[in-house]
Amino acid sequence: MDLPRSFVIREGDLRILNPFDAGKLATLGRALKLAPGTSILDLCSGKGELLCTWARDHGVVGTGVDISTDFTAAARERAAELGVAERVRFVHGDAASYLPEEPVDLAACVGATWIGNGVAGTLEILARRLRPGGMALVGEPYWRIDPPDQATVEGCQAASRDDFQDLPGLVGLFGEQGWDLVEMVLADQDSWDRYAAAHWLNLRRWLDANRDDPLADELRRELTEDPVRHVRYQREYLGWGVFALIRR
């Protein structure tokens, strides 16, 4: 059980594996008014930057679960680097099925709602892991601008317009599922650029060093096509944010 190697190559030395930058992640932590000792379960925790920096800055404790062995190892190294390895731990495993020993104060799935086949199913997963009155965090794309055609939809890595809501529709969906939206921090075009462009540099450096690798042709095509796709479609039409929710 692991992610394809291309994911690890693409993310390279990035610590935040979504369109947030460090400033936005810190803003979110402050906005949530996290108390020392707050227990967090981070599903699809990537390289652990959310848990590690919030443990350092706010004194939270918690567990991150991710399917990638490389990302899990990087998260453990980051926890040691920041001196929080006694407060947070990282588990290699299936985030959708992982159950903590006790319900947590905050359960997160930031940018991986595929674990529940969409927002509604992911909220159900998070709800089953929360204490009464606990908070869920969901990271999810949304349409900034209504896509005019199927080429735009596919350029944003969607199969149809229905794959994403617009922002009012997404907020409405939270309410329909029985949750109050209590905070949100949204990516902007600059943070999208920083995330997307970092992939291009990672890919180019890897290609320069691995020209004969079996993945080289596939990743060469990605590096050729993705910058055009990003500037033509994704940065204009697709938004992304993290939404804090409490069940009604």
Taking only the tens place, the pLDDT of each residue in 58-95 is 999 999 999 999 999 999 999 999 999 999 999 999 99
Mean of all residue pLDDT scores within the chain? 97
Distance of CA 214 to the CA centre of its chain: 28
* Residue whose pair of structure tokens reads 């042709």 in the numeric block: 217
The SS3 of residue 139 is strand
Distance of CA 177 to the CA centre of its chain: 21
Extract the tokens encoding 4.
């394809």
For 102-144, what is each residue's pLDDT tens digit?
999 999 999 999 999 999 999 999 999 999 999 999 999 999 9
Distance of CA 94 to the CA centre of its chain: 15
Question: 5-247, which class in CATH?
Answer: alpha beta
Is residue 240 predicted with pLDDT exceeding 90?
yes
Confidence band (pLDDT; 50, 70, 90) for 1? confident
* Contact (Cβ atoms closer than 8 angstroms) between residue 46 and residue 91: no
Distance CA 124, CA 47 (A): 24
Backbone φ, ψ for residue 131 (5° rounding): -70, 160
Length of the chain: 248
* Contact (Cβ atoms closer than 8 angstroms) between residue 235 and residue 189: yes
Domain layout of the chain by residue ranges: 5-247
Confidence band (pLDDT; 50, 70, 90) for 204? very high
Predicted local distance difference test score (pLDDT) of residue 184:
98
